[in-house]
Amino acid sequence: MSNFYLNRRALLGLALTSALPASAVWAAGQPLPVVASFSILQDLTRQVGGDLVTVSALVGADGDAHVFEPTPQQARQLQQAKVLVANGLDFEGWLPRLKKAAGFQGQEIIASQGIAVRALPKGQGHDHGHDHGADKAGHDHAHDHGHGHHHGPNDPHAWQDVKNAIVYVRNIAKGLATADPANAARYSQQATQYIARLTALDASLRQRFAAVPAARRTVVSTHDAFGYFAQAYGLRFVPVRGLSTESEPSARDMGALVKQVREERIGAIFLENISDPRLLEQLSRETGAAIGGRLYSDALSPAGGPAATYIDMVETNAATLLKALQAG
């Protein structure tokens, strides 16, 4: 009877992981089983790990990590994983609970560790009733005080600055080396090669955006996920519906935005792969601003798409932005 609580957890674990043998043992020589919280981290980890790792993503391509319901299979994947790569900065609010439920015992890498964290701008149309998926994340989170401000004060979308992605890659390489010390040298070597590509990408972005006249660098986007990108490459992003993709905008937010687009003569509005396109179409109808194309923020496109890897994603976003800004 005293074991009742334990039994219940064991049962829950069983239900979640269905009837497979508990934790499949990872033998040296086999690829290291790694789970990444979302598709972008999955790609970064693949680049560093190469064929030494198999990486699955909890939130796959085109999915939205803000709102996510884990499936039992994913809990099982996590349970069998040796390494978990997460963004941190409160991006994956649902992760603590999933880790607990799945009985994850491996090593967790917080990819964003050590970056210069950007604070969220205050009161930009999303200062009310806004909960960023924290409710779905459950109670493990320090979010139990029910004020309107569920969100951490920090912007989690750090990967949009390529310089930060370099930090991510270093953290991932370090973490993989700790989990799999036998291959530490190869992780480090592959990371160095990848970082060289990222450095070149960063330099090229800076150069290309610097060529756009400063007055033309304002853009409206569905999702306030480009704070780091904007900061790094000298653009201004006006969000259409705050940071969360779950909340429906109010008429006031829409009105404020229409006014802003009209007054600031914003030339381009961008759709992302994950938010409601109907709102942007309405905005474009109302203001005459062009819909600039599709930007990828929190998720890669499926394989074969224009943003199947992190580098492709950044390149595609930059090309789309530059085209719209130069046309406007």
Partner 1 sequence: MMAELLWHPFVDYGFMRRALAGCLALSAGAAPLGTILLLRRMSLVGDAMSHAILPGAALGYLLFGLSLPAMTIGGLAAGMVVAMLSGVVTRYTALREDASFAGFYLISLALGVLLVSLRGSNVDLLHVLFGSVLALDDPTLYLTATIASLSMLGLALMYRPLLMECLDPGFLRLQGRMGSISHALFMLLLVLNLVGGFHSLGTLMAVALVVLPAASARFWLRGVGLQMALSTGIAMAGSVLGLLLSYHAGIAASAAITLSLGGLYLLSLCLGRLGSVRAQRHRPGNDSVSEPMGVSE
Piece of 57-65, 140-148, 158-166, 212-220 that binds partner 1 (CB under 8 A): 57-65
Contact string (CB under 8 A) for partner 1, positions 127-146, x = contact? -xx-----------------
Q: Nearest Cα to 83, choosing from 179, 173, 190?
A: 179
Q: Is 315 in the site for partner 1 (CB under 8 A)?
A: no
Q: Least distance (Å) from partner 1 to the CB of residue 142?
A: 24
Q: Least distance (Å) from partner 1 to the CB of residue 239?
A: 15
Q: Nearest Cα to 196, choosing from 161, 233, 166?
A: 166
Q: Which residues of 138-155 are buried (b: 16+ CB within 10 A; e: fewer)?
A: eebbebeeeeeebbbebb
- DSSP lists the bridge partners of residue 218 as 236
Angstrom distance (rounded) from CA 275 to CA 36: 22
Q: Is 63 in the site for partner 1 (CB under 8 A)?
A: yes
Gyration radius from the chain CA atoms = 21
Q: Which is nearer to partner 1, 240 or 324 (CB)?
A: 240
Which of 36, 37, 40, 64 is the binder for partner 1 (CB under 8 A)? 64
Q: Nearest Cα to 222, choosing from 181, 273, 263, 167?
A: 273
Q: Is 68 in the site for partner 1 (CB under 8 A)?
A: yes
Q: Which is nearer to partner 1, 78 or 205 (CB)?
A: 78
Q: Least distance (Å) from partner 1 to the CB of residue 310?
A: 19
Q: Is 246 in the site for partner 1 (CB under 8 A)?
A: yes
Angstrom distance (rounded) from CA 81 to CA 33: 5
Tokens of 281: 């179409």
**CA of 15: how far to CAs of 10, 19, 71, 79, in Å?**
9, 8, 11, 13
Q: Least distance (Å) from partner 1 to the CB of residue 325?
A: 25
Which of 69, 122, 263, 304 is the binder for partner 1 (CB under 8 A)? 69
Which of 248, 263, 303, 304 is the binder for partner 1 (CB under 8 A)? 248
Per-residue DSSP letter, 119: B
Q: Which is nearer to partner 1, 31 or 249 (CB)?
A: 249
| 3-state SS class at 248 | coil
Q: Which residues bind partner 1 (CB under 8 A)?
A: 59-60, 62-64, 67-69, 128-129, 245-255, 258, 274-279, 281-283, 285-286, 299
